[in-house]
Amino acid sequence: SAPVLSAQVGSYRDISQESLSLFRLLEPRIEILVLGTGDRVERLHPALLRHMRACGIAVEVQDTANACATFNFLMSEKRLTAAGLIPP
C-alpha cells in the first residue's frame, strides 16, 4: 500500500515548486507524479513541469477521477509513482 501524505493545497493554483518538493524527497525516487486538479484538467505553469522533469520526475496532469485511475494502473504495473489529488 502507498503512504498518504498531505501538502497544503486547496486548489490547482496552490501547486508550486514548494508544494511539490515533498515528491522529490520520496525514497525510492518516483518516476511519475500523477496530479489530479479537481473536476477538470487545469494547466500548470510550464516552468513547474520543466523543474520536475529536470529532477527526473514525469508529471501527468488530469482531472482527479482520471488521475485516480491512472495512478491505480501505474501501481498495478509496479511503476514508481505518486499522486497528488485535489478533491473534485
Query: Can you give the CATH number for the domain in which 30 is found?
Result: 3.40.1230.10
* Number of domain units in the chain: 1
Grid coordinates given for 36: 489530479
At 13-42, the pLDDT tens digits run 888 888 888 899 888 999 999 999 999 999
User: What pLDDT does 15 receive?
Assistant: 87
d(CA 88, CA 76) in angstroms, rounded, equals 24
pLDDT for 51: 95
Q: pTM of whole model > 0.95?
A: no
The pLDDT score that the predictor gives to residue 3 is 56
Q: Residues 6 or more apart from 3 whose CB is under 8 A from it?
A: none
Question: Does a structural domain hold residue 29?
Answer: yes
The burial class, CB within 10 Å (0-12 / 13-18 / 19+), for 6 is exposed
The answer to the question of residue 2 being in a domain is no
Under a CB-based contact definition with an 8 Å cutoff, are residues 35 and 44 in contact?
Answer: yes
**Count of C-beta atoms within a 10 Å radius of residue 41:** 16
Q: In terms of residue numbers, what domain contains 47?
A: 12-85
pLDDT number for residue 84: 93
User: In the prediction, which pLDDT does 1 show?
Assistant: 52
Q: Is residue 46 part of a domain?
A: yes
